[in-house]
Structure 1
């Protein structure tokens, strides 16, 4: 038996019925598009099946920490304005520091990969390099990632002011810091860093390389353990 609402409801027309598959298809396309955008924005690193053509001759020019005699070397390809890189640096990165770098098991190299779509990728990397001239590279590195949301939406001039404030907070000679930051001293080196990253076939940030193999951040700890076990 039909209810009143069923008797009074007109039957769907053929045109309405034919539109349903189109709506479903549109929904699927939208979901795929959102997933692709998220991957682009946050980065996930490469699949571990990839091989990296790393220019080992220049690795010594990049910031590093941990013992140079450590049994395993990890090269991190990263962008200071990349949200996924910030998530790693403020989370799992601290645990990697504690468990492997501080214990002398890993020599960690930070290879800048300033992505073109990030307007402040180069400037933030310059801020870290400028801090490095005063022995505070890693302190600025940590601050840039921890406070990424404070500066990532700023214009260039405003971002430089913010970075100068960070330099003051770290106890740096701010005038010297500002001079280096505004000079463009490291711009060519950072352009080289980007070009080397693309030549090495690094697909996204953050990505990690151990013995010529590319790993995403969720694979890093098992990859380090495997490399240590193979020593």
Structure 2
């Protein structure tokens, strides 16, 4: 039995939930309406709610393109727009295969607390290959690094209320018409760079600056 299979078996409910999330994503339509509106469970950085420009990213800790975007574009985007409070950056979870592993990763990030949520998410993406091949070891290591004990990590990934909340967030994503990750929306309008792992800094900047320039 592989490490991923062993890990998924730790919580039958988690695996069932993740399968449901994947099915809902596959059945989602193409309407992007609603992707820019505030949603339950949003995790955010930068400008406060109500900012002139909101950038929403739908992503997964098991998505290779999401990890590539983080490696290649995140720091430049963060420095230019998040650290300067020019935009409100909102991250939304959309688990991708192996979905049970993604669900568990997001659960641990939330258990780490709002101040360390992004630290966990970014670390899992940075070490994505190890995370997918040996999720239990990786989650325990990352969880310990933000102050969670092994018992707390185990409790995070089997918490029924957390799994129900993950279901709700996935349903909200499908209602917004999001079917791929990473997906970026600037004030509700999707920004796409053809052939890339996500929008380029150039395309994101063009969309953001156009919104900032509006009266």
Provide TM-score, normalisation by structure 1. Answer: 0.68
Aligned CA RMSD, in angstroms, stands at 2.3
* Aligned counterpart, 2:174: 198
Query: Match of 2:207, SS?
Result: helix
Query: Match of 2:105, SS?
Result: helix
1:212 Cα shift?
1.9
Listed as ranges, the gaps of 5+ residues in structure 2 are: 1-29, 193-198
Q: Of the two, which has the highest radius of gyration?
A: 1
Counterparts of 2:31 and 2:52, CA distance in 1: 22
Counterparts of 1:162 and 1:221, CA distance in 2: 34
* Aligned counterpart, 1:105: 86
* Aligned counterpart, 1:46: none
Provide TM-score, normalisation by structure 2. Answer: 0.73
* Aligned counterpart, 1:93: 74
Return the match for 2:162 from 183, 186, 211.
186
* Aligned counterpart, 2:205: 221
For residues 168-179 of structure 1, what are the structure 2 equivalents within 5 Å?
168-179=144-155
Asked whether the 8 Å contact 2:139–2:153 carries over to 1, the reply is no
1:228 Cα shift?
1.3
Query: Match of 1:209, SS?
Result: strand
Query: Match of 2:91, SS?
Result: strand
1:117 Cα shift?
5.5
Counterparts of 2:93 and 2:62, CA distance in 1: 11
Listed as ranges, the gaps of 5+ residues in structure 1 are: 1-48
**CA displacement 1:10-55 (0-9 Å, x = unmatched):** xxxxxxxxxxxxxxxxxxxxxxxxxxxxxxxxxxxxxxx9743338
**Matched residue pairs, number?**
177
Asked whether the 8 Å contact 2:112–2:146 carries over to 1, the reply is no
Deviates more, 1:114-123 or 1:75-84: 114-123
**Is 1:75 aligned to residue 51 of structure 2?**
no
Return the match for 2:139 from 163, 168, 184.
163
1:107 Cα shift?
0.6
* Aligned counterpart, 2:26: none
**CA displacement 1:93-133 (0-9 Å, x = unmatched):** 11111110000101111111113663412111112111126
Counterparts of 2:97 and 2:174, CA distance in 1: 12
